[in-house]
Amino acid sequence: MKLHPVAVGTAVVLASCLTTGAATTSAFAADAPPAASASTERSTPVITDVTQTPRSDSGAQYVIVKAFVSASADVRLLDDAGEVLDVESATAAKPAWFWIKPTGEDTAHFTLDVAGQGNRAVDIDFSAMPLSAPADRTTDREAEQRERQIRHGVLDHDVRYEALPGATVTVEANGQTHDAVADQNGIATVRVHFVQGRNEVSARQQLGAKRSEPAVDVWDHGEPGAGGGGGGEQGGGEQVDPASFAVDVANGATLPDENGIVTLSGKASAGFVTVDGSAGRLGTAEVHDGRWTLDARIPDGDHTLVFELAEQPGGRAVAHEVRSVTVGDVVDPGTPDVPLAIDQSGTVQLDADGFATFTGTAPGRSVLVLVNGKRAGEFAVSDGHFTAELYQRPGTYKVTFLAKSKSTGSAWDVVQAVDVTLVR
């Protein structure tokens, strides 16, 4: 069972960020728009003001960017390459909120626009801010399975953390420290040593010279014979913490459905989560014991889902996430007749960062890799070829590769194993 986050370390004083328009406002100030004038309401909405406010919550770091508009409009946030990162609705009385995490660079350039007009540049100074702490992406089902295994004495488990691509994520728990490098999708899989009972798991990330403060998650995996999942501490009562909000769905994921129903889930300290899709509102779920789940009817195809956390149903969102997903089976355009074959065997050289690279051919869209019977990662197949980079210490291992002969099937029915010795 997941318990409350624990704040650690000393308070961080964040320097004022560069602002466009008015001076930085407090994160807790009312969202009062600029003084009205005869031209405040226009037939074509424009951005009238932009403010920035640094925010730090239990290791999570943000700059809150508020965009004030002259009339109701959808405000888009674009990166310096012109890619849309987020879309928020705003009115003349209510600004659009954007929560932006440090990127690993000292400065970052964004653009805000309405009605397709790129009319306000926003430069954010991250130089005085630490990185945001990595976020544990363990699902409810994974936590329940892990707790059962811990009760039977299996104490070492791989945990997925969301971090900056290329960052080193370091996790400390119960006297052991392990690390891993986040992949191009920003996911680091780190080995964590658990014990029966209370576990304080501290995670931090570092990219170049920049690092985060540690964030501590508390997991209660119970004593032998205890009831599963019940009891334990609950952090923060009914207070809604924006930094606690998380969505289990990865951006770009393919979501299976059962009779047209897709299950969405995530984390939050308290409150209500509302999900909107391309065709309108999909539903609202209340947070219970730090988790929320929503069964939504979503047709097959590509969708943009907007998740919002509020204190009350229909209330003002205090945090949000946006995901682009595909619902239903995707026809594999690749090469189902390609055999599963591994190029490496025998002695394999580790690179300077401790990674062993395996290449080969495979059917389907991905290969699942096990090292000595334990999951090491899933890697994409493109045009019948794959590359798998595994972080391992020197030693002798049995590496097993699994693939699917049918892209729409659920069984890893094609298997190939190799015995290798990893050396530096």
- The answer as to whether 228 is a domain residue is no
- The answer as to whether 385 is a domain residue is yes
| DSSP symbols for 286-343 | E-BTTEEEEEEE--SEEEEEEEEEESSTT--EEEEEEEEEEES-----S-TT---EES
CA 44 – CA 420 distance, rounded (Å): 65
Please provide the distance, in angstroms rounded to a whole number, between the alpha carbons at the two ends of the chain. 39
- The answer as to whether 271 is a domain residue is yes
- The answer as to whether 225 is a domain residue is no
14 and 104 fall within a common domain: yes
Q: Among 261, 292, 327, identify where a domain stops.
A: 327
> Mean pLDDT lowest for which of 1-10, 51-60, 150-159, 210-219?
1-10
pLDDT tens string 27-57: 334 454 554 444 444 468 888 999 998 887 7
**For 376, phi and psi rounded to 5 degrees?**
-110, -20
109 and 147 fall within a common domain: no
The structure tokens 């994974």 sit at: 142
31 and 112 fall within a common domain: yes
What does the DSSP 8-state code read for residue 148?
H
63 and 147 fall within a common domain: no
Angle value at C-alpha 142, between 152 and 388, nearest 5 degrees: 105
pLDDT, residue 361, reads: 93
pLDDT, residue 338, reads: 86
Give bridge partners of residue 306 from the DSSP assignment: 276, 322
pLDDT tens string 161-184: 999 999 999 999 999 999 999 998
18 and 115 fall within a common domain: yes
The answer to whether residue 203 scores a pLDDT higher than 80 is yes
Residue 366 belongs to domain with CATH number? 2.60.40.10
- For the record, the structure tokens of 410 come out as 């659920």
pLDDT, residue 88, reads: 85
pLDDT, residue 231, reads: 33
pLDDT, residue 329, reads: 58
- For the record, the structure tokens of 150 come out as 């811990």
Per-residue b/e over 3-16, b at no fewer than 16 CB within 10 Å?
Answer: bbbbeebeeeebee
391 and 307 fall within a common domain: no
94 and 147 fall within a common domain: no
pLDDT, residue 357, reads: 93
Domain of 258 in residue numbering reads as 242-327
86 and 168 fall within a common domain: no
Domain count for the chain: 4
pLDDT, residue 66, reads: 92
- The answer as to whether 197 is a domain residue is yes
pLDDT, residue 348, reads: 93
CB atoms within 10 A of CB 241: 20
pLDDT tens string 106-162: 888 998 988 666 578 889 988 889 999 998 988 877 888 788 788 777 888 999 999
Q: Among 61, 94, 125, identify where a domain stops.
A: 125
Mean of all residue pLDDT scores within the chain = 79
- The answer as to whether 404 is a domain residue is yes
- The answer as to whether 195 is a domain residue is yes
358 and 417 fall within a common domain: yes
- The answer as to whether 175 is a domain residue is yes
pLDDT, residue 332, reads: 47
pLDDT, residue 324, reads: 80
116 and 171 fall within a common domain: no
- For the record, the structure tokens of 146 come out as 């892990």
353 and 389 fall within a common domain: yes
Local confidence band at 202 (pLDDT 50, 70, 90 cut-offs): very high
Residue 102 belongs to domain with CATH number? 2.60.40
> Mean pLDDT lowest for which of 7-11, 83-87, 102-106, 260-264?
7-11
